[in-house]
Structure 1
Amino acid sequence: MSKSTIIAEEYRGGSLENEHNGIICVLNEQKEVIYSKGDVEHTPVFYRSAMKPIQAIPVFDTGIERKYNLATDEMALFCASQRGESYHQKSLKSLIEKLDLSEESLICNESYPLNESPKIDYICKGHEKRKLLHNCAGKHLGFLAYSRELGYSIADYGEFNHPIQERIREEIEVLSEYPKEKMNAGKDGCGVPVYGIPLRNMALSYLKFVKPEMINDKKKEKVLKRISDTMQAYPEIIASHDFICTVLLEDENIIAKGGAQGVYCLALKEEKISIALKVQSGTELLWPLVVAEILKKINYKNKQTIDNLYKLRSTKILSDAGEVVGETKIIL
């Protein structure tokens, strides 16, 4: 691959050990590409879990928050890639009880908590894997709730032709301005449809979360704002503490969500700028460093957010004993 697509180099003892290629797109409010790396116009990239705020649009549009007296942390689960912390488990149990849904209706696989500490605690207490602890369980509960409220089948909610999945595809088309018939389609790890579009269009879909008036649909504008506000109200629910989503969402100016295989999206409210990136190796370890460098490149005003990203991942490569043995260089 061309040197121009390399976004990170890792050195050990002064010698190059790894190179990471990537695609990056930064858009302004006029939908103009103000920075790019790689092919942002044509190469399709699967959203993976960065699609969750869009997948939450239908359930946020049903009125179930009032009907079932759902708390904000419970609503945030519809957008989340929860990692099994105690606060995730508490909110998940409360949500499924309030919605009166069966855990067996979830098509996602049974799972242990993702984060190491709650996983060890959970296993030591003799608990079995369960579907409710799957990383995407909150999203799936949203699909079930939407389907039941509108009278659709809940048995096949993960199929491409199910009304909830067709609605999501239409929402992506509206936000990304990319024709749904041209989207790459596949199944995500959790068993539901996921779509691939060029990174410029992916960035555009996030731009509309911070500039919803671009849609020219007052009802949809309110839904997008509620989703953004909900994510920012409970950053730790969206992923977990000590995670890039939390650091970014704690900044009241940023909406952000990551996806598997190196995909990350965010948008800045005041600046009306959106960013989408894909680390081609699929690693998530580079996210904090790449995002921090992009924010520096656009001269982002909140230096504390940038500092917090570096606290998550240092440019220094350490041995197991904490000795500095190398460095990571981000190349923009």
Structure 2
Amino acid sequence: MSNPAPLAELWRGDLLESLHTGHAVICDSSGQIVWSCGNPDTIIYPRSSAKMIQALPLVESGAADAAGLGVPQLALSCASHSGEAQHTTRVADWIEGLGLSENDFRCGVQQPSHSETRRTLLLNGEAPCQLHNNCSGKHAGFLTLNRHLGAGAEYVEVDHPVQTACKTAFEEVTAMDSPCYGIDGCSAPNFATSVHGLARAMASFASAHTRSGVRAEAQSRLVQAMITHPELVAGTGRACTELMGAAAGRAALKTGAEAVFVGMIPETGFGIALKVVDGGTRGAECAIAALMVRLGILDANDPAVLKRMNAVQKNWRGIETGIIRPAAHLLS
């Protein structure tokens, strides 16, 4: 990851104590770069920021409509949810409607990241299951597509028809061949691309409503599902949910592990992608908030923004000790 640029700074007193560097790109609807920092050609794994791309075959194939999926299910297919009841109940009902069960998932068991849900499970003596996995909505989408295709049960294998469809969609919307893949936390393959390629894909989604055709309709439906249900895309207190809420319908945002963040802005057709080199989530959240402020989508003084950008740090006695702020060039 050569030539990263400063993205977020942690100041304590008059000293720059920590610095998050990385790469960021904003593309227009044609896929051209309108602003960047760092190296746009850096190859990254998009991780969960690519979930709307992985959901494209679900919609394009007709599988979503054949299964009667609604807008909440499409939002969940793009989600990295917190494992709250609002997420797990919907996913459970979804797969039950397919005649399947939690045992058909291949994502693995994960503790819910939502603290109250985790506490409730503990107090009730209940164990988490695959429904609590943050990727269970995506995997419900995989299972829906898999049933539509009539393919084998091991839908996460890289040469399975579900994953070959995902790779084809991924390479088409990024407009480049993927050089490699890795296995994601949920066991599905995650295809690599450049930061520019990922931003180009997000611009394709953001501008889909201006085009016609099966691909554009599918992209537009997924973007609108995310915008309509930000609470399903992430969860209570999460950056994706709160920043989309603050954007009030003007943008769809999605994070990915190891400090990737993407954004889609339908009114301008702009797509955003960024990667913080050290994998620090606080740096990615600060940077995406700053870029959304730069583009006039978020107010710098909105509480959801201040929680992540220009966020005052306090110690255990409530004394202000520092601040996390974006690198100046992100806003100018």
Structure 2 length as normaliser, TM-score? 0.91
Aligned equivalent of 1:227: 222
Report the Cα distance in structure 2 between the residues aligned to 1:123 and 1:327, rounded to whole angstroms: 35
Local SS of the residue matching 1:277: strand
* Segment of structure 1 superposing worse, 56-65 or 165-174: 56-65
Report the Cα distance in structure 2 between the residues aligned to 1:293 and 1:3, rounded to whole angstroms: 21
Aligned equivalent of 1:189: 185
Aligned equivalent of 1:89: 88
AA at the equivalent of 1:83 = S
Aligned counterpart for 2:203 among listed residues 195, 202, 207: 207
- TM superposition shift of 1:59: 1.4
**Is 2:62 the counterpart of 1:74?**
no
**Is 2:7 the counterpart of 1:7?**
yes
- TM superposition shift of 1:13: 3.2
Change (3 A) 1:159 1:217: farther
Report the Cα distance in structure 2 between the residues aligned to 1:305 and 1:83, rounded to whole angstroms: 26
Report the Cα distance in structure 1 between the residues aligned to 2:19 and 2:151, rounded to whole angstroms: 48
Does the CA contact (< 8 Å) of 2:264 and 2:270 recur in 1? yes
Change (3 A) 1:210 1:4: closer
Change (3 A) 1:57 1:3: closer
Does the CA contact (< 8 Å) of 1:288 and 1:310 recur in 2? no
Does the CA contact (< 8 Å) of 2:258 and 2:280 recur in 1? yes
Aligned counterpart for 1:308 among listed residues 287, 304, 308: 304
Aligned equivalent of 1:321: 317
Local SS of the residue matching 2:279: coil
Aligned length, in residue pairs: 326
Residue segments in structure 2 that go unaligned for 5+ positions in a row: none
Residue segments in structure 1 that go unaligned for 5+ positions in a row: none
Can you list the C-alpha shifts for 1:253-281, whole angstroms capped at 9, x where unaligned? Answer: 21221100000000211122111000111
Q: 1:152-301 counterparts in 2 under 5 A?
A: 152-154=151-153, 156-180=154-178, 183-212=179-208, 218-250=213-245, 251-298=248-295, 300-301=296-297
- TM superposition shift of 1:64: 4.2
Can you list the C-alpha shifts for 1:275-303, whole angstroms capped at 9, x where unaligned? Answer: 100011112123332122223333x1552
- TM superposition shift of 1:308: 2.7
* Segment of structure 1 superposing worse, 25-34 or 83-92: 25-34
Local SS of the residue matching 1:303: coil
Q: 1:44-63 counterparts in 2 under 5 A?
A: 44-63=43-62
Report the Cα distance in structure 2 between the residues aligned to 1:172 and 1:110, rounded to whole angstroms: 27
Report the Cα distance in structure 2 between the residues aligned to 1:115 and 1:301, rounded to whole angstroms: 28
Change (3 A) 1:66 1:204: closer
Can you list the C-alpha shifts for 1:127-181, whole angstroms capped at 9, x where unaligned? Answer: 1121111111111121122111111112x2111111111111110111110124x
Local SS of the residue matching 1:266: strand
Local SS of the residue matching 2:263: strand
Does the CA contact (< 8 Å) of 1:206 and 1:267 recur in 2? yes
Does the CA contact (< 8 Å) of 1:80 and 1:138 recur in 2? yes
AA at the equivalent of 2:254 = K
Can you list the C-alpha shifts for 1:228-263, whole angstroms capped at 9, x where unaligned? Answer: 121122111110132221134333121221100000
Report the Cα distance in structure 2 between the residues aligned to 1:45 and 1:134, rounded to whole angstroms: 23
Local SS of the residue matching 1:35: strand
- TM superposition shift of 1:106: 1.3
Report the Cα distance in structure 1 between the residues aligned to 2:17 and 2:311, rounded to whole angstroms: 14
Local SS of the residue matching 1:285: helix
**Percentage identity across paired residues of the two chains:** 27
Local SS of the residue matching 2:116: helix
Does the CA contact (< 8 Å) of 2:47 and 2:260 recur in 1? yes
Report the Cα distance in structure 1 between the residues aligned to 2:264 and 2:106, rounded to whole angstroms: 31
Aligned equivalent of 2:20: 20
Can you list the C-alpha shifts for 1:93-143, whole angstroms capped at 9, x where unaligned? Answer: 211211221211211211221111211111111111211111111111211
* Segment of structure 1 superposing worse, 302-311 or 86-95: 302-311
* Segment of structure 1 superposing worse, 51-60 or 94-103: 94-103
Does the CA contact (< 8 Å) of 2:82 and 2:112 recur in 1? yes
Root-mean-square deviation (CA, aligned residues, Å) is 2.2
